[in-house]
Structure formats: structure tokens, C-alpha cells
A and B are shown apart, each in its own frame.
Chain A
Amino acid sequence: MNLKQKLAESRFFKGEAPVKQPITLSHRRIYILPSRRGLAFAVVLLLLLLIAFVYNNNLVYLLTFALASVYFVSILHCFKSLSGLKVSMGRSSPVFAGEQAHFDLLIDNPAPWARTKIHCRLAQPEFISVPPQVQMSWTLAIASISRGWLALPTVTLASFFPFGWFRAWSPLRFDVGVWVYPKPWPKSVPFPDASADSAADQGHKHRGADDFYGLAEYRPGDSIKHIHWQSYAKGAGVFVKQYSGLQSRELWLDYQAVLNLPLEDRLSLLCRWLLDAQAQGLQFGLRLPGFERPPGQGELHLQACLQALAKF
């Protein structure tokens, strides 16, 4: 690494190039500068020095030097409060646009001293304390605004320990992120294809004691119509009814079939249909310009289709 790279401003604020492995905080990644309070204290030190000088008072000199030395030594302690921490990111699950994306930050403190009040800044500042020789996980939330790949932005760990005069910080970039799926269309809309539509209608018609095969926990996107209100009223939680009768039906969800809508709305609608189809246990396939996934079923299939929407 040459000097120019070493002094690149991005290292200090954005962090080094993103990595997948755990990052151990060392002198290469920790930066320290006086905080505003630290600068104010430096002014106080100068004032004390002036008093000592004018009055030629050695005890004031002594006090000034003691405080100045404490000021100086606190730089090391500030560094120590971050140094040696091993930070890594856990898995995170995809979200729909507008939801909070959650990232698990794993902080391992192998040292025999506690790290307290570490400022962790992503969306908003939070405080983390890690006892000695303990590994902790911390969930960071970040709002997802638009669909697509949401890379984890720079996570900055900072510490003002011990006296708040210095801020040691370490900007960390991890090569992780989540898929942000389009926001599902707010209302249920009948499936587009006539045959699929009739299949769905059939499904509705035929829905009976035979077809109902169980309850599943509610997931975002499940049709409100399928919520099992009885169990909800009992306080057992929110469940949706699942039907087996529609398993054999095939449904093609085609981008071209949705006309007269802006792009994002089309994707949003497709997203809603995918979710509804999954909730109703339909066999569904997705066709986008340049992408086609034959009808299938199951969670993985759904995720693949949603991801296609996110990427589109």
C-alpha cells in the first residue's frame, strides 16, 4: 500500500474495501481524533498553563501537566477500547421494499477487559457493551427504500472511552447485503390469466373441508382472506388457512400480461400475485422479459421468483 492509498480520505470515513471474513480491529483500521469536547479541554489546558505562567505557580503547572498527561494517556485507552474486537456479519433475510432490513452484527471480544458504550452507527446511533471474552450479536436495522440489492453500508464503530476527549472510530465495510423485493400491491387482485383465474375461481368454489389441510403461521403477503380468525380470537396467534385442493393447478404470472401500469407497479402487482399464489398453494411460474421460471412450488421457488423481480 503506497502512501497515497494510505492517506486516501475514504479509508477514514468509508472504510477499507468490503470483505466477507470477520474483521479484527487493529491499528490499521482504528482512527483517533480529538472530539469537540477534547478540543475544548485542550483550551482549558492552555488556560491553566497561562495561569501557571502568570503566577509562576508550580502547583498549577503540576496540575496542568497531570491533566495534560491524562489527556495524552487517554488516547491509548481510547484505542484500547476498540482494539482487538473481532467483528463479523451474520446472515440476513430478504425484505420487501419499505420494510426494515435487519443485519446481525457479531462482535467478539477476546480480551479480558470489557468494552462499554461502543457507538455503533448505521441508520441511527446505538450503544453496545461487550463484557470480557464474550461474543455478542447485535441487530442493526436499516430502512429499505427501493427494490434491488441492498448492500450493507459502512458500519462505524466508535468509542469515546474513557473521558470523551477522543473519538476512536473504525469504519467497517462487509460484503453482505439483502435482496429487497418489490413492495407487494396493497390489495389482493384477481390473478391475470383467464385460465389461472378460473382455476382460482375453482379453487374458491371448491374450497371445502376436504381441501383444507392445515394452518400455517402468517407471513407478510399472506392473503387477509385466509387468516384463521378463530385461532386469532383465542389468542393463539395469527395463522392462515392452507388449502391442498389447488396444488395441482398451474399459474403463469407474466410481466407482459400486466399492462397500463408503470414498471414498479407492475412488479409490485406481480409480487402480490406470487405471494397469493404461494399462500393458496398454487403451482406458479414467472415470466419476465429475459427471465422465465417454470411453474413450481415451495419456499425456494417463491424466493427465486421474488429475487427475479428484485433484480429486474
Chain B
Amino acid sequence: MMVTTLTYTPRQWLGLLLGLGLVTAPHVNHLPPTILAFVAVVWLWRVAIIFRPDVQPGKIVLLLLTMTGLALLFAQHRAVFGRDAGTGLFVVALILKLMELKRERDVYLVVFLAFIVAATQFLYDQTLWMGLYIILVCGLLLTVLMTLNDAEGGLWRQVRAALTILIQALPLTLALFLLFPRLEAPRWMLLKQDRSARTGLSEFMEPGSITNLGMSDELVFRVRFEGKTPPMRERYWRGPVFSHTDGKRWSEAGRLTSVRTPAKVEFFGQPYRYTLMMEPQDKPWVFALDLPGDFPEQLIMKSTYQLYDSRDLADQRQEYHLESYTRYRAAAITRREHMVNLHLPGPPAQKIQDLVKNLSGYTAPPETFANNVLDHFRQKAFYYSLTPPAMDNDPIATFLFETRTGFCSHYAAAFVYLMRTAGIPSRVVTGYQGGVMNPVGKFIEVRQANAHAWTEIWLDGKGWVRYDPTAAIAPERVEQTLDIERQLETGAISYLDMDSEITRQLSWLSRAGQLWGSVDYSWQRWVINYRSASQQQLLSKWGIADLKQMFFWLGGILTLTTLMLSLFLLKRSRPGHLSAEVRHYQRFCEQFARLGFPRRIGEGARDYARRMAGDFPDQSELINRISAQFIRLRYEPKAQEEDLARFEKLVREFKLELEGKH
């Protein structure tokens, strides 16, 4: 292949730079400021070169620039692998290459790098908007490539052509997306810093700032019960317990609670014996059925009754034999614990105090008050939503009085806050709830989507008693499963709210909000979380069971779409798609051809008419008229639509008669 020097007009330069700028732009949020500044400066420099070619850097400046970029990268990340470092590397490489575009080849390299930078965007942001944005920007990048291979046509024509090809590629894209086997990457491929990016429970809870609950169907653990399996409503798998709050963020109460040995617990009834198989995870937590009575030695119980593994798990699957009782009573609470679980970041707002007073929090016994609060959630318009609005300032009050929309963390946090306002020691417990029985393996699978938050309040004589305020708003959630996918499938929850009365009262605005919510949900469920489990589930519905069949179908669809697309693309080369006047004229010529007087190669319409008029003298007038009209229609730009109609009529009525000859 020849080496082609780049001849770019300022317009093309601007197009290229715009495309690359748009690709990099969303990275503003995650690039370190120094690298961001570097990228911005070099980009602006490059733009300046278009208008002032004399500011093009020399070799030495270029070398310095490259060194600077690499130094900045190294200073930031001290590595070239991993999400952040890799992204930085690609962005810096892209921007540096931009300074040295001499040949067409360099443009290709830059555009290829830009595709990778576009992809890294998805490691940070997976919203529908970002998806659409990146696809459009990729369309622009394809246009840049097209300008190199398409000499003519304005920019818009090329943008349109590139987008057309993108649309033509859509069916194949979908087939690949659905059928390409999704395999879990082995753990060793994940770099240390990327592991924390996976979904899962964290060491704190911040209901107001999370506006989108991840609904990963990633497996967390499996449980196989010996003998009886506890009913769904008792399957609370205990994780971190949060007692401390600053009003927004809830976290464990620090060293004090974690180091001490837990208070004695009295157990009732028969224990559940089971084997817990934890999938590899970043944290040493072991999610035992609430509340574990007997556990292996390597496990340690915090004073909040949470279990964790004392060993370095090194990302391996772990198996534990445990024993739990679902009926229990904690014997005592220390003074310290009592204090911590009553702590509020400041005096509660007047509105909250009024609410507590209205629900007789200051007068009635704790249990009555707790039930009153649950009734309040049940009767007032509180919604369960996976995508609640952000509540940045004073999330508790905002949730209770304004948005009234949230998921388990919101309800748990608000509930505990109200309890503490009324002077009842209470805390938030996080973990998982439910889990689906796998009928084949006879074990329960608990996935990230089962993550849950509930509360415990201290009742004298009863110990810590579990209250699940989310259950007040969505009883189905407790009775059936927390597996949202399954729930939506069975129609158990209709996603935003349970009450059809309320739905009717909603303004169109909230309907639009709901609509968007469900679009976003579908996006989450079908695109972002389309993983190996959901793929198998979906494909088995269509009878595609194994990998072999998957490839078989993929090949079939590939062949089919190719065939259809080539038919679509190439059919227009047949005469049927010539312009109308040519088609009519060809019909006219065919009449002569049938009698042995075809139009010769290269013979113009005028010459042919003269020849035919000579051979068919009594038709000569018509022949000349038709030919003249054809020439006019074909070559005169002023020809009108009705001229074409007249021409067609003329041709249709033209009948060549053999008697006319000799």
C-alpha cells in the first residue's frame, strides 16, 4: 500500500478535532486534573495550529511534550494497567499523536485510539444517554475515516452515509449482543484496584446520594440447607450493622463495637443447619442467616453479630458450615451500645419532632410507635423506587416529607432516625434478603440484587427486634423474593408503586417520570446486566441451550442479514432503479430491438431516432417526438413532473407496426 501524505483542509481538521474532543469530553469527570489540563492544552494547541501553522511544535518541543505526558501519567497512577491508568494512557496517547499527523495512516491510528477511549468511557458511566452519545460520536469518527476514502460529497452527505452504515449494522449488532457468549472473566484478570468497582455491599450506606440501585445478578453466595429450609420471610442474611450516622452517611460504630465480644444470646426453637458457599469477594464478610448460633473457628463474630473470616481469603470461594436460629433474644445491651444506638448528629428538625409526636412516639410504648411508623409508610404515599431522586441536603427530612420515594436504605435510615428521635435505641442492618431456590441444585442462590437494608430496635425484655420498614411499603418484597427480575416477570411489583389509586392521581409529569424509570430499568436489566445468567435464561426460552447452538444461530443470523443486506444494497443497480425517463425510453427502444433493430453501443438517442425514422418512415414523426422529449427530460434541468407523465403516456401508446415497414 502506498504511503499517502495527509492533505487536510481546515474544515476536515476541525471535524477530526471536534470528534476527538467529543470522545474525550465525558472523561472530564474521571481524569486527574493534571492530565486533564495537559490534554486540554494540547488539544487547544492543535486547534490553534489550524489557523496559525507557525505554532506547530518542532521535534524537541514534541519530545518534551511526550515526556511531560508520560511523567504526568506515571505520577498519577504509577502503572499502565487498570481502569484509571489505562484510560489515562489512551487519552494521552491520542492527544499526543494528534500533534504529529503527517500521513493518512496517522489519522487511522488516532481514530482507532479514539474508539478505545470511547469504550473506556463505559467503565465509568453506563447510562442510556452515555450509550447514545458514544454511538453518535463513533458515527462522527467513522465519518472522519470516510472523508479519507470518499473524494466528493459534502460533510453532511458523508455523515449521513456513515450513520446509514451504522444503522445497517444494527441487526447484526443485536444478534451478536444477544448471542455472543458471556463468560465471567477469571479473577486473576481483574486488577486489584478494579475489584472494588464491582457491585456489592459496602462499609457504609448513604441513601441520599445513591440515585440508582445497581441490580447486578452476580452471585454472592449459595446456601444448602440440611433438612428444613426457612421460609422466604425469614431469610435475612446478616451483614454489616450501621449504628453511627452523620445525618447522611451510615457506618459501623467504629472500633468500640467491632472488637468486643458480642453479648450472649438466647436461642429458641430448632436450628437451621446449612452450608454457605461464598463466591470470591473483596471483603471478608460471611452472610449468615440471622442469627448464627454456631460457626467454625476461623470465623469471628462482631459485637453486632456479624460474622467475618479472619483469614486472608485471597479471592477464593469459601465454604462454611453454620447453624442459625431465627428466634433469638439478646440478653443485654451495654451502656455504650445504648448510647451509640441513640446517637443523632444534631437535634432533629421540628417537622420530624412533630411527626414523631403525631405518631405518639413520645408517649406510646416503643412497639406501638414502631408500628405507627410502619402504618404511616403504608398509608401515606410512600413509593418504592430503584431510581429515587437525589437527596443531597438533609436526606431524612427530604425523604419523609418531600420525595417519599426510595429503596430499602431510605426506609431503614428514616425509620431508625425516627426511632432514635423518640429515644428508642435502633440501628440499620445490611445484608441480603431472600434468595431463589435453584430447583436443580437444591440450593438457594443469593445475588447482588438481593442486597437489602433493614433495622433493629432494642426492646427491653425482647432484645434486638428486627423491623423491616421496606416491607411496609411492599409486602411482596418480603413474602416472595428480593430478586427484582423475578418479581417484575411475575408482576409482583409494578416497579414504581403498588397502589393503582395513586397511579391515577399522578400527574402526567410523574407518569413521564415513571415511563423514563421503566425505560431506564429496561436498559439496566437488558443491556447493562445482560450477563451469563440472564443470557442463558433468555436463550433457553428460545431453545438455544448450549454454546454450540449459540454459534450455530449466530452463524445463521450472520448469513441471513448479509444476504438481505446485499440484496438491499445491490438491487438498485438493476435497471428497475434507473430514473423513470430512462426506463420508459428503454421500453420504447425494446420495441425496435424485438424487430431486429437494437440500439447500437454508443449510439445516442438522436442518432438512433434518425436511423429508426429512416427504417420506419410512417412512424417517423412519433419516433422523433418521443426521442426529442426523452432528450429534453434527461438533459434539461427545467423538465417538470408533468412532462414525465406526458412522456410516459406517449411511450405507452406507441405501437410499432410491422405493416409500416416495406
Residues in A lying within 8 Å of B, measured CB to CB: 22, 35-37, 40-41, 44, 47-48, 51-70, 72-74, 76-77, 80, 83-84, 110-114, 116-117, 125, 127, 129, 133, 159-164
Contact = CB atoms under 8 A, between A and B. Distances in A.
A57 B148 CA distance: 32
Nearest to B194: A55
A63 B126 contact: no
Interface residues of B, number: 68
Contacts, number: 167
The CB with the most chain A CB atoms within 10 A, among B112, B565, B575, B601, is that of B112
Contacts of B112: 40-41, 44
24 contacts: A36-B1, A41-B112, A44-B116, A48-B115, A48-B116, A53-B183, A55-B123, A58-B529, A58-B530, A60-B119, A60-B122, A61-B180, A62-B131, A62-B177, A66-B166, A69-B173, A112-B577, A116-B152, A133-B578, A162-B149, A162-B162, A163-B149, A164-B145, A164-B149
Given A110-B575, A116-B152, A164-B145, 15 more contacts: A40-B112, A47-B116, A51-B123, A54-B189, A55-B194, A58-B126, A61-B180, A65-B172, A66-B135, A68-B176, A69-B172, A76-B565, A84-B573, A112-B578, A117-B151
Interface in B122-161: 122-123, 126, 130-131, 134-135, 138, 142, 145-146, 148-153, 161
Tell me if B's interface is mostly helix, strand, loop or mixed: helix
Contacts of A125: 2
Contacts of A63: 115, 118-119, 122, 134-135, 138
Nearest to B152: A116
Contacts of A47: 116
A57 B123 contact: yes
A162 B146 contact: yes
B145 A62 contact: no
A37 B169 CA distance: 20
A40 B565 CA distance: 25
B83 A55 contact: yes
The CB with the most chain B CB atoms within 10 A, among A22, A65, A68, A80, is that of A65
A170 B131 CA distance: 39
Tell me if A's interface is mostly helix, strand, loop or mixed: helix
Nearest to A22: B601
Contacts of B582: 133
A16 B153 CA distance: 33
Contacts of A53: 183, 185, 189
A102 B1 CA distance: 25
B572 A57 contact: no
Which 8 pairs between the two chains have the least Cβ-Cβ distance? A69-B169, A59-B122, A69-B172, A65-B176, A117-B151, A84-B573, A163-B145, A70-B169
Contact of A161 (B150, B170, B562): B150
A4 B569 CA distance: 31
A243 B573 CA distance: 58
Nearest to A162: B146
B153 A114 contact: yes
A243 to B, nearest CB: 41
B185 A54 contact: yes
Contacts of B185: 53-56
Contacts of A59: 122, 126, 130-131, 134, 527-528
A131 B245 CA distance: 72
Contacts of B601: 22
B169 A40 contact: no
Contacts of B500: none
Interface in B540-586: 558, 562, 565-566, 569-570, 572-573, 575, 577-579, 582
A66 B153 CA distance: 25
Contact of B119 (A41, A64, A77, A159): A64
A44 B120 CA distance: 13
B165 interface: yes
